[in-house]
Structure 1
């Protein structure tokens, strides 16, 4: 879903499993899209090594789009002191409530008018969407006003999985609004322009999902296998002089 939504906005990306993060040169990328679905403490939403790399990446001007239903339960409620520090200092959030008891979030501010329904036609049930506590700008709320999404310091954080939104148009609209806010100076390359520094970086590769205990069915794993981490990477724009 992330790849389709990103592509529909005219942006270009690479993709990788989260385990491969340590093998990548993150300086090549303007933004990382980190999706954990319902990954929680058993699967580790952000390992210690990944946290260290992302701290450096953000400090160097990189931006993050993060979504998942159990991230703060893992980092804040059940995590170590360093996990909680990463959540608060890098993601800009702490856990308000473990379960929003909601299947719809409504956009405010940047996402005003956008309905993000992760119950109807969702590819898997989202059982415990996090509600967020943050000093960052609120961009999505659950029914009743609890915070579902925030934006600040180059990081967008959602307490529910983007990939569970059942409406592809809503996914595309979210991406269309969010990507320019995170990388405001990005200009998609002109297909007729041959001055691109690295043409391979402007292909649209397939998303690579982690093989979960043999759950590598296609095109979509069965419900019990839909706990994954996806890392989509938007390349920094490079042109030859």
Structure 2
């Protein structure tokens, strides 16, 4: 056997999330990839760098799986992309060490959240969130509070199968970028890991502060696990897993 490392992108709007779900009405990203692999004679289960929620996209998700020694790696990428079209795309694929583990070997993960203040293009509505917000300076002021090592027990949804809720945020910044001639805001967050819906709750709190709905002190109280001041995650459609660093 040999282990395969693959970097993939996917349209999260077409799936129930990355991980297998109990409800079978909508397929998960994992199930779709494994069906394609089985049709190629590859029966291993895939392992990922992280799970994304329903509606969340990825441009830099990392997965691994094992294949028989006889299978030519050069043919896997093109055949997989043919079978996974149009919602999943394999960007890179190569052989890696058998000890490689995408989730536990990852040092950092990066997410981007793309949003604007009004709906004007139906062709990007699945990929850009519409949010109400104040000045970008106020958003950045709130984002700065998250940088560093904190316990994020009050910034997660139930279901995070982790031993600890402590995470370290290395970068939290907002900038603008034009998408299809529309000025959009992008928040980039990089950390050693994230809990379930943590990114969406953090961004939601930052936007709420920019709208004058909560204070910086209330965000800090939530970071200190003393008071739930904000509990509504922003929409999933603007969120992307963009980078996993090893």
Structure-1-length-normalised TM-score? 0.25
Answer 1 or 2: higher relative contact order, Cα 8 Å, separation at least 6: 1
Structure having the larger proportion of residues in helix: 1
User: Comparing both structures, which one devotes a greater share of its residues to strand?
Assistant: 2
